[in-house]
Every structure is written in structure tokens, then in C-alpha cells.
Structure 1
């Protein structure tokens, strides 16, 4: 059903190759070396046994070799970055192979266990699929973005062109348009442009379709420093799990941050009183000194022996994106870890443009897309090495 159902229906004549890839893609596990590379060799060896021609064999081998790629990009990268999407599109090569890889990715995630595949992941994967399809087939799906822009424009048709709201609407980046519904965009921008200089608003809402909480923070001409880690502090103080975060600077005057979080203290819709508590906590951290929140190991994570605890790892990717640096942190999950990491980035004068947070049982993978305080990509290798060491120390300290 939904967009994935449409993708599956368009797989067509390549369906047999997809089913073979589903059977083969993890056969490399248990052997020495990267299981994707081992699996690709197995695919190459068995393809003739299934009567595949040379072209079909190459597609099967590619699907097995790169079966983890799409999940990595969708869940750990900022797909608003056109250079990342373009690189991915070049590797995939065609809309047909993109559809095969998309269905394989979904099936691989869903097979991990009950509840692993969810609406939030479906939306992230769908976002990457649609953006990549736009590169491979420009007439395929970007009409939706154009229609959103037209709908937003119609909602503000009575606004004078000199009004800041009209100016923001006219200059909205395509990534912003893709991510949010027109009515919500107009409501948020209206509130944003109504702020006095130095003003702010905080909106915390339950999202029924994804069973998550959206936290939106808007600021105008703010003198507050370290906005990202201040918001993270407010959310950490309420024991919330952050799934994703996006930061947009509009017209060099307005800042709007979107956080998607889960409240493990409640099952089902979050009560209004609780939403109010979250809003007040974020407001307090924006206006006052950020409180010291001691990290504690996730009580829901499985208990592990000391010998099983893996050391923290930090990877710096300065090649994938033209405009920014991608920093990934792999570590044991603990409450307050995101706050500690974001504070460290701020203290080393890195500005977080967006963040993707993934949790796998007791492990976290946080991917930060960062620039320097002037909005430029950081090219200094010594500075990158310094932040890598600092983040690794913080991620492994547990304090």
C-alpha cells in the first residue's frame, strides 16, 4: 500500500532479480570480510545457474553489494543536501534499479523484527526515493514540490509582496517544501514573521500519523548562541528520544528548528499537560543557562558484560557533501548523550545544520551535518582531527 506499493507495482520484469537479491543479500554473513562483498561474489557465481544474462547478473550483484546503502543515506544523512542525492543517483544509474533497491531496503529492515519498520522510517526512505527519482527522471515527481509551492502561495495570496511572510514563502528552499505540508508551513511562517526582533515561539504537538512528537522552535534576529544544543538540553531534561532534527535559516533573519521525538513515558497520544511541560523545558534552556544533565545508561537497553561494550567510534566524512562536513558517532546508548555531543560541537565552534539519530537496541548512530560559525564547510584537517578526538572522548566517557 501507499508509495511503496506503487514502487512494487512498477518493478515489472525485474521482479525475479529482486526476489533473488532478497534470498542472497545476507548469505555473506559468517564469512571473513565484508558480508556485502562476500554476498556479491556469491550472487555473481550463482547468477548463471538461474539463467540470468550478463545485464541481469550485474543488477543482482549490485543489489547485493549495495543493499545497505539506501538505509544509511535515508536514516543517517541529510538528504536535503543535493550533492549527496546526486552521488547516490549516479551510483544507482536508473529509476528501475532505484525501485529494486528501495523494495530490498524496506524488506531487509522489516525482517529484523516486529516494529523495526515503522511509519517514520517509511517517510525517510520515501523522501530519499523521491529526491533520487527526480535526478534520474526529472519529470517523475518534483511536480509535487511545485504544487506545494503553488498551494502555499495561494494561502498567502492576500499578503502584500513587501510583507516578510510573502518574502519567506517566495524564497523557501525545496527541501523545506518537501518535508512539510502547506498549511503547517504557512502557520509556522506566519508566527515566525510576527515575532518582534529577538522574539521566539515554541510549538509542541502530537503527530498521530507517526506516533511521535514534533517540536518546532522559531527565532527572529536572536542573540542566543548554541541554539541546537540548548534545545537538545531541554528535550534531554524531559527524557525524550530525538529521532531527527532539521535547522533552517531563512532570509538571514529567521531561524526555525524542527525536532521529531519519542516520549517513552507514555503509550499512545501524549497528554496536553505533558506537551506543555516539554515546551516550558525548551523555553527554559533557551533563556537560561543550560542545566547540567548527567548521562545515564539507557535502562531499556540489554545489560551487557564489560567485555562486550564496544569502544566509541567517530567518523568524519568531508567528501560526500559539497557544502558541509558529516560527522558520525557510534556509541553505547545513554540518556543525555546527544546533549553532550551537541555541546562539544558548539564549544569547538561547529554549527549543526541537521542531525539524524538512530538507535539500534543499545547502540546509537548520530550523524551531524555541520559547518563553522560562518556557515562555511570546515576544510582544516587539524581542526577536524581535534573535534573527532573530543567527540570520541565524550561518547566513550558515560559521564
Structure 2
């Protein structure tokens, strides 16, 4: 009769506990590991092969683990030690976790539980970040029902294990017992797709994840796991032998893995922890550590990041093909379904019928993209066709090196169906960068700021995607009038070309708009566009920032501003194209940048310029005539609401004439109706949504004027969690103010209810506004890395008798509230304000007077400058140069 496990445990010898000896060993092991890491760090700086460095660190840790095991566990204790996961592959990054499996039957686990506890405590004391599991072979089978556990186990490597234990673990994870190869492939592919979705399905983030992001090291690992499970091979070269990878594809994966691995190794060194995201905190330090230097055209950090983005793009491109080949291996090839022009569908993938396609002929490549655009049910390119394209990639000539017929094919693609999709496919497959070499130069190019959240090439594709939305023939709630303007375009492909070239010259030094216009002009001329079409595209590229700058930095209710803008545009056709390009550009710069406020702002400028062009570019109407015309429009709106002429005229008399110049008729009608019934000397606060589906609010405040009122409103809005995008401050009859603010919630946690905001403002304005103070806020981590010296400029506005303050500073939460507080403390009155934010840059303009409504004296300006500098940079003393 066998003894119970507890009885057997009493007779198993244990390695004797030795607290003093363990402490000494841990200290020596910690020192040995530090010395090994220091040596590897020096060799990394000398650009030694990254695979060797990873293997050497794994070997150094192997030795310490084996020593610790032998110190704590008896050789005949029935337990074995395995490295699993990435460590099991025999690679270890400087700060990565060390994944271990202790394999043994339950009786042995129980008998040696104290010794195992001692082992893991010893390893942690030695500075080894160990994560472990203690399982029997049967427990491994149960745990491996989770494919992530199985993935760690299939890469196991024995550290202190018998041959029998190794065979037992191998049997436990055999595909004949658990997770057959096809099921495993499907599970890992689904995991990969879900992981990509977490990152927005793009590697082109400002702070990309080297390990888990799209095109990162995890994608390469996933391909390796699939190959290991399906074919029993553990390296890329074996896949070449099996026919799943071409030699060039294998070389590309090895090359890009080395780039990604070096970045991750260096990131661990710089961060001094297991950091996998290339955060702003480390980007510059890592670039310097890896030898990337600044030059006239690019920062060193931008060069480093461009290398990453390009590597990630190649990894995605090749891995897409390999995943499809794995799928074909499991599911087999289907009968081809011809779709014409020498192409067929195979299981939904577009395939060239000719096995030797494309024979080095770019005309055949363009025929492929034309067919792809024509057949909507295509899932993607067949893997062998994609390989044929990839093998020809380096031989694709630039547009200037081919004949007219081939260039006509490209223009036909722009004019054909789904042109935006075609350009995106050509870009992702590397064809567009070969055809237009200037596009290759901006491929993967990032800009080290918070304004541009995509690389230049990805931003360009986003702009083209937005243009595609305009051409879809249906309204999109993000763009109020774009679907109305689009049908007026004479040749939509000209807008696509402008979008393609608008940022193509970034990173060369000089004005990218002017340089890009030169490139666009040359391209259009070479492709046979007429002189007028060529000039339109070049003009759009050169002026693509004009409408955005005018709308966001100038007063578009000023007839002189509109006149100057309309004069530069010149005609309605250019205005239509420029408006759509501007909308697409801003919306494609950052998901957070486009909102209902900007949509309306650009629409207002578009309509104002269109009217100016229609009426002629002579001198604009005198202000008195404009007021009368506006009053007539507002009167009609109010009559339609059921208000009589007497009540309307009475209300008009209580409103400032300037408002009829500065606001749209529907805004004025809303204000006028809201003011009806408000007693003289009363306060009104009203808020409404700018658009039905938007979170942007228009806030109207009418109140008796008093010093500090602007600051009180701004600080209250800030405390309520709103960002101010626009402010219009007007003086009304009888010492009243008519202030309008356009705001959005600063975060998704802010209660954007208009009624709640009205209540908060009424309460604040009904009390002692002099005691209000700005809220104290923590500066977001990202902003700390983009600080720059503020720029303060004063200009006399002789016409209005005011002093204009132009302020450019690093943006941060509560900045406008702090500035308003300074203006109040300096006893200054804000007569008007323009608020603009571009990533990490705030560019604000205030029209100021002193408490007697006069321009600021020189002494007042100097006092304000000193106070603003202290507010914007508390560490700077007022007398320091800025």
C-alpha cells in the first residue's frame, strides 16, 4: 500500500537553509549581473550584432539561475527548471521579465515547496525579475487550453532538466493532444488583429509600442509561433526552404527585426526599466544614445523614428503575405474565378494568372491596381502575386523615367473608381514611393511635436481618405457643407493630386509649401495635364495653409480680412478646391483637431469669401450698410419665429451695432430672442450646441460690465472642464457686455450639459468675481517635452484705440485662465480675444485697454510682460531674458 504524499514528504532531503550565505550569493549575483549588463551596454554602443547581445544576456542569466537552482533544490528532487516565453527563445532584453516553469508531479511540488519559495526569494534579491509557474505535465495540458500559455510553453528551453522531463513537456504541448496547428493559427491571427485594433491599426503613433504595436516585435514572434506549431521550424530560413518565404522576404524580416530589437534594447537602457513604448520621455535620449544627430533638415529623433516607422511598415507588408500563405497551407487553394485582364480571384484574393507576372513591367502593375479598383469584392492581393510585386519593387521606375503611355495609366487610376483606395494600396505596398521618389522621402517621417500625430505619409493618406468621404455623395456630420461643394469640382482628381503633394516636401528645409508646389508642377506637366490644371494643383499645394491660418488667426468678420483672402484666392473654382483641401488637411492631422467649431469657422470663411468674389473685389461695403443688411436678415428670422416688428426693433436697440457685423444672422436671432424679457441691468447666460451631434458649445453672456468679468468667465469655464476655442467680447449700450465663447469639453470625463454650464456661470457671476482664482492643474507628461520660450508682442491698433497683445506659448491645461487672471490683476480690460491652439502651441491674441479704455502705456506693457513671463514660466525671474 503506497504512502500518502504528505508522509513521503517527511523523508525527502532538502538543501539546508543558509540565510547568510543566500544574502551573500544574492549580492554577488546582483553585482555579476550589473557587470554583465554594463559590458553589454558598451558593446551595444559599439553597434555589435543585436542577436548576439540578446543571446549573451540570456546566457548570463542562465548561469545565475542554474547556480540558484543547485543551491536550493536537490538534483534528485523530481523537479525540473525550464525557460519559457521570450527567455525560452534564448533572447533577453536588459529589463525584460524572466519567465520560468518548474515542472514536476504534485508530490514533488509539495515536498519542495519551501525550497522553491527560497529559490524565488533568492532570485528577486539578486535583482532578477522572475515570473514563474509550478506545474506537472498534466497541469500544463490544462493550462495550455489558453493559447497564450501554450505559446509560452512551446518555446521552452531546459535549464536544469532531465531528458525525461523534456520529453514529458514536449508531449504535453503536442498538437496531437491540444491546439491542432490550424486552430492555433486561427487563434493567433485573431489575437494579432485585435491587438492591432487596440493601436488604431497603425504603427504611426507619436509614442509607438515597439513590442505590441502593429509591425512591432510581437508580430514577428507571432509568425514564428505559427511556423513552429504548423511546421515544427523555429527560424525564418527554414520557411524559405519550405517555400513559404522568398529569400528577399526572409532577408527583409531579419533586417527589420534587428532594427526593432536594437531600439527596444536601447530603450530599456535609457529608461532603466521594462519600457516598451517609445514615449516622448525617452525619444530624444535614445536617439542621442544610438548616434542619431540633428542636421539642417531633420532632428536626430525624427531620423530615429522614421527608421522605426519604415521597419514597422515592412514587417506588416511581409507578415500580411506570410499569414495568407499559412492560410492557404491549411485551407488549400480554391479554383480561380477570372475577373478579366489576366487576373482571377482565389478565395477572394486577387491573383495574376501568369505565374511569372509582372515580368518587370510597371504597366502590368498599374493594370493590377485598375482591376483591384474595378472589382469591389477583392479581399486583398494573393500572396504569390504580392511576392511578385515585392520582388519587382526596387526596379519600379520613377514617373520621369517612363513613357507617356504608362503615365497615362497612372492618371487613369486617379480618374477611375475608388481612386483613394488605389493610392492607399500603392502607398502601403511601396509602389507609390517608387513612382514618386519625393513621397518615399517622407515615408515614415515624423515631426517631433504634438500637433502632427501621424507620419507625413500616413497623414497624406488620411487627407486622401477625407477627400474620398467628400466624394461619396452623401453628407458626413463632421463636414457640414463639403458634400455640397464637392459636386462643383470640375476635375476631382486635381484635388487628389493636391492632397498627395501638399506635404511632400517636408523635411528638406525651406518652405515645404513652395517646394511642394515645384514638385507638383513638374509631376502634373509630366503626366500631360493642361497648363491651367497644372497651375491649379501647384497653387493649391503652395497655398494649402492659407485658409486655415486666415480662419484661425485672423478676424474673419473683418471685411478687410475677407477682401484680402478673396483677392489672394481670385476665383470661385480655387475657393472650392482650397476649402475641401483645408478641411481634409485639418481633419487628417489629428483625430482631436477637427471639431464642429472648426467646421463652422471654415464654412463661415468660405461663404464670406464666396460672397466677396460674387460681388466683385472692389472696396467692401461700408459698415453702416453691412449693419442694415444684417438687421434685415435677422428680422426675417425673428418674424418666422413669431415675433412682431416692434419687439424686434426694441431688442435691436439694446444690442451693439458691432454684433451685427461680427455674428451670423442665426446667432444674432438666438441672442435677441434669448434677451427678450431680461430686465435692464440683468444678467443672461445661455449655452447651446454648435451642431446636433457635436460636443462643442456656444456660450453667450450678457451682463452689466465690470472689471474682471472676462477673467471670471474664463476661469469658470476652465474650472468646469471646458477648453475655449474662440472668444468675442463686445461692449453693448448702457455699460453692458455681449460676450460669446465657443468651447468644447477638455476631456471625455467632463459633463458637457449646457444647462449645467449655464448654472455654474450664473452662480459665479452672481457672486464676488474678484475672489475667483484659476484652478491648479498638473501639466500632462507629453507637454513637458515640448516647452519653448514664450513670445510676447504688443501692437498699437490706432483705428480702435487699443493695444493688441500677441502671445505664443506652450499650451497647458488652464493656460487661458491663468493669462486672464494676470490681465485682471494688471487692471486691464479685454475688448476682444482670439484663441488658437496648434498641438503644444497656444497662439492667442487679445485687444486690451487700461481701466480708462485707453491703449497701454509703455510702463503698463512692461509690467504685463513681466507678469505674463512669471505666469508662463514660474521658474523664470521677471528680469531674465526670454
**Same-fold call, TM > 0.5?**
yes
2:711 is matched with 229
Q: In 1, distance between residues paired with 2:495 and 2:851?
A: 46
1:126 equivalent to 2:612? Answer no
Q: 1:4 aligns with which of 475, 482, 488?
A: 482
Deviation at 1:56, TM superposition (A): 3.3
Q: In 2, distance between residues paired with 1:277 and 1:50?
A: 61
Are the structure 2 counterparts of residues 368 and 96 from structure 1 closer, same or farther at C-alpha, using a change threshold of 3 Å?
Answer: same
Contact preservation (8 Å) 2:553, 2:836: yes
Q: In 2, distance between residues paired with 1:100 and 1:226?
A: 44
2:646 is matched with 159
1:351 is matched with 830
Contact preservation (8 Å) 2:848, 2:856: no
1:339 is matched with 817
Q: In 2, distance between residues paired with 1:384 and 1:50?
A: 57
1:283 is matched with 765
5+ residue gaps, structure 1, are: none
Deviation at 1:68, TM superposition (A): 1.1
Q: 2:675 aligns with which of 189, 207, 212?
A: 189
2:662 is matched with 175
Contact preservation (8 Å) 1:233, 1:290: no
2:178 is matched with none
5+ residue gaps, structure 2, are: 1-474, 617-625, 877-882
Contact preservation (8 Å) 1:350, 1:371: yes
Equivalent runs, 1:249-288 vs 2, <5 Å = 249-251=731-733, 253-264=735-746, 270-271=752-753, 274-275=756-757, 278-280=760-762, 282-283=764-765, 287-288=768-769
Bigger radius of gyration among the two = 2
Q: In 2, distance between residues paired with 1:375 and 1:133?
A: 40
Which whole-Å deviations, capped at 9, do the CAs of 1:294-347 have from their partners, x for residues lacking one?
543444x62644xx422223455779x965765443322323210222344452
1:302 equivalent to 2:803? Answer no
2:353 is matched with none
TM-score by length of 1: 0.80
Higher relative contact order (CA 8 A, sep 6+): 1
Output the aligned Cα RMSD.
3.7
Moved more, 59-68 or 378-387: 378-387
Are the structure 2 counterparts of residues 145 and 119 from structure 1 closer, same or farther at C-alpha, using a change threshold of 3 Å?
Answer: farther
Q: In 2, distance between residues paired with 1:152 and 1:28?
A: 51
1:150 equivalent to 2:630? Answer no
Q: In 1, distance between residues paired with 2:539 and 2:505?
A: 14
Q: Which has the higher helix share?
A: 2
Deviation at 1:69, TM superposition (A): 1.6
Contact preservation (8 Å) 2:711, 2:821: yes
Q: In 2, distance between residues paired with 1:156 and 1:144?
A: 17
Are the structure 2 counterparts of residues 94 and 237 from structure 1 closer, same or farther at C-alpha, using a change threshold of 3 Å?
Answer: same
2:348 is matched with none
SS of 1:28's equivalent in the other structure is: coil
1:92 is matched with 569
Q: In 1, distance between residues paired with 2:859 and 2:495?
A: 45
1:213 equivalent to 2:683? Answer no
Are the structure 2 counterparts of residues 365 and 46 from structure 1 closer, same or farther at C-alpha, using a change threshold of 3 Å?
Answer: same
2:514 is matched with 37
Are the structure 2 counterparts of residues 115 and 337 from structure 1 closer, same or farther at C-alpha, using a change threshold of 3 Å?
Answer: closer
Equivalent runs, 1:11-90 vs 2, <5 Å = 11-13=489-491, 15-90=492-567
Deviation at 1:134, TM superposition (A): 1.3
Q: In 2, distance between residues paired with 1:152 and 1:270?
A: 28
TM-score by length of 2: 0.39
Contact preservation (8 Å) 2:827, 2:851: no
Contact preservation (8 Å) 1:206, 1:212: yes
Q: In 2, distance between residues paired with 1:179 and 1:385?
A: 42
Moved more, 273-282 or 80-89: 273-282
Contact preservation (8 Å) 1:247, 1:256: yes
Q: 1:136 aligns with which of 613, 624, 638?
A: 613
1:114 is matched with 591
Deviation at 1:370, TM superposition (A): 1.1
Contact preservation (8 Å) 2:655, 2:733: no
Q: In 2, distance between residues paired with 1:122 and 1:164?
A: 33
Aligned length: 382
